[in-house]
Amino acid sequence: MLELDQQGEVWVLRVDEGENRFSAEVIRRWNELLDEAEAAPAPKALVTTGSGKFYSNGLDLDFLQSGEVDSAEYLGSVLAIMSRILTFPAITVAAMNGHAFGAGAQLALAHDYRVMRRDRGYFCMPEIDLGMSLHPGMTALIQARLPVQTAHEVIATGTRYPGELALERRIVDRLEDEATVVSSAVEWAAGLAAKASPVMSRLKAEMYPQVVAALAGTAAP
């Protein structure tokens, strides 16, 4: 289940789908709800969050390996959501209520800001331990949104970052207790809701042209 609720000038998109992986239905609902939030009048901002102990566990590997889906098409649809968040025409805050792994971690990085639960949950890119490569768009997003040495460590070591370490490495911007992760993100977003404008999407895209192109699969390999 994915829901979009309005709290004042802030739209809160909540994913409550087990481990919150990107299944076909989750992808469809993400796009529907982002369409709705984008169409809403300004002032506005967007907060995304998960449920239980998961913000998002990333790609649905069972679905991807089932043979029921074109892998390139599936991956492209997930990357497109990251690009939509990266260039969203209003301020975005990821309220990281729990684990953010793989594509879920990258989704969090696509937001303008990240608030992470202090006492539980990891940020992790586990591909090195899974023997998996990264799409160039994923690598570009990580490089663009993290300090150079942190980006290297994230990709090359597969470190699991709890809240305090994620803050130290500048992966996240703020830590909160479980009960206040979402409310803190909403308060932060509300203070910047007046910045919402169609031009914000262009400004963000122009800050990250190589990322946008790589996520769309148009960057040189």
pLDDT tens readout for residues 94-104: 999 999 999 99
Query: Which of 2, 47, 53, 50 has the alpha carbon at shortest distance from 24?
Result: 2
Residue 137, C-beta contacts closer than 8 angstroms, at least 6 positions apart: 79, 82, 83, 211, 214, 215, 216, 217, 219
In angstroms, what CA-CA distances link 117 with 19, 25, 85, 99, 163?
Answer: 16, 27, 21, 9, 6
What pLDDT is stored for residue 218 in this prediction?
59
What pLDDT is stored for residue 219 in this prediction?
53
Q: Is the pTM of this model over 0.85?
A: yes
Phi-psi region of 18 (alpha: psi -120 to 50; beta: other; left: phi over 0): left
Which residues does the chain have with pLDDT short of 50? 220-221
**What is the CATH superfamily name and number for domain 2-215?**
2-enoyl-CoA Hydratase; Chain A, domain 1 (3.90.226.10)
Condensed to tens digits (0 to 9), the pLDDT of residues 109-142 reads 999 999 999 999 999 999 999 999 999 999 999 9
What pLDDT is stored for residue 70 in this prediction?
85
- Give domain limits for the chain: 2-215
Q: ∠ CA 125-111-152 to the nearest 5 degrees? A: 35
